[in-house]
């Protein structure tokens, strides 16, 4: 069976000498495993299609009852070039992709999850990074997966703050007060508890739920921002 679908690559690994195997989240077929034959050759036209968090439309062949498909061609949508030049953004993008790989069932389509990942990567690409992006993405993925608590704020987090984490554009989730830092860290704690319960082994990507921001990374921090960051450092001290 041949079909064309929109996919975002979640992870890749080498297979045999010249092939690659990828896990991808597709718009119409959910999470799928694809083989890209011959892409490790220098002249391969599909090598870019098999890189992490590349967004493309791919022509796919699946044998009857097979669990692994074969990519035969396609068209790139975007490789998120600006995202790839920033180490911190790249780490967050890989974190998003690993969550999608680890927390979604295979071949179980959910367009909302595809659009969540696509929009989140686009915001990372086009806007300044902020520390609320990682927990907000996981909370939204939990919601799309049926584990969400969007209607029930936890740990006494204010309902407007909780709603913003679930619904606001990621780049608008900035914080500058001590109270915001505490609420964000509580949301981070909710995310950690969820991952500890549903993952059998820890994530491999850099842990982007660590909210510590060196003051040097903020241009001309205000007194309010300094107080918020100091409060965060105290909250995150190991026990």
In a shared domain, residues 93 and 6: no
Q: What is the pLDDT of residue 224?
A: 60
User: Are 77 and 89 in a shared domain?
Assistant: no
Q: Same domain, yes or no, for 58 and 132? A: no
Q: What is the pLDDT of residues 61-100, one digit of tens each?
A: 999 888 899 999 999 999 999 999 988 899 899 999 999 9
* Burial class of residue 130 (count of CB atoms within 10 Å of its CB; 0-12, 13-18, 19+): middle
CATH number at residue 139: 1.20.1440
The pLDDT score that the predictor gives to residue 175 is 82
Give the three-class secondary structure for 124: helix
Domain end call among 66, 81, 96: 81
Read off the pTM.
Answer: 0.85
Look at strands 19-26 and 68-78 and give their pairing.
unpaired
Residues in the chain, how many? 239
> Residue ranges of the chain with pLDDT lower than 50?
211-218, 232, 235-239
Structural domain including 198 reads 82-235
Same domain, yes or no: 169 and 203:
yes
- Residue that is last in its domain, among 32, 58, 81: 81
Q: Are residues 62 and 132 in the same domain?
A: no
Same domain? For 212 and 117 the reply is yes
Same domain, 69 and 134: no
């Amino acid at each position: 069976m041949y079909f064309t679908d929109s996919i975002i690559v979640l992870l890749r690994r080498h297979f045999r000498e010249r092939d690659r195997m990828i896990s991808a989240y597709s718009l119409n077929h959910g999470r799928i495993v694809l083989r890209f034959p011959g892409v490790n050759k220098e002249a391969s036209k599909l090598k870019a299609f098999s890189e992490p968090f590349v967004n493309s439309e791919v022509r796919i062949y699946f044998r009857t009852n097979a669990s692994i498909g074969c990519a035969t061609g396609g068209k790139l949508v975007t490789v998120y070039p600006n995202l790839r030049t920033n180490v911190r953004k790249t780490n967050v993008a890989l974190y998003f992709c690993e969550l999608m790989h680890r927390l979604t069932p295979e071949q179980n389509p959910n367009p909302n999850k595809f659009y969540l990942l696509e929009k989140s990567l686009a915001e990372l690409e086009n806007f300044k990074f902020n520390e609320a992006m990682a927990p907000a993405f996981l909370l939204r993925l939990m919601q799309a997966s049926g584990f969400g608590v969007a209607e029930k704020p936890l740990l006494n987090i204010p309902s407007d703050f909780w709603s913003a984490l679930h619904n606001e554009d990621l780049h608008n989730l900035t914080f500058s007060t001590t109270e915001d830092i505490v609420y964000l860290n509580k949301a981070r704690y909710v995310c950690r508890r969820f991952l500890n319960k549903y993952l059998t082994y820890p994530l491999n990507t850099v842990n982007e739920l660590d909210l510590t921001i060196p003051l040097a990374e903020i241009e001309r921090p205000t007194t309010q921002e300094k107080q918020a960051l100091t409060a965060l450092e105290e909250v995150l001290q190991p026990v």
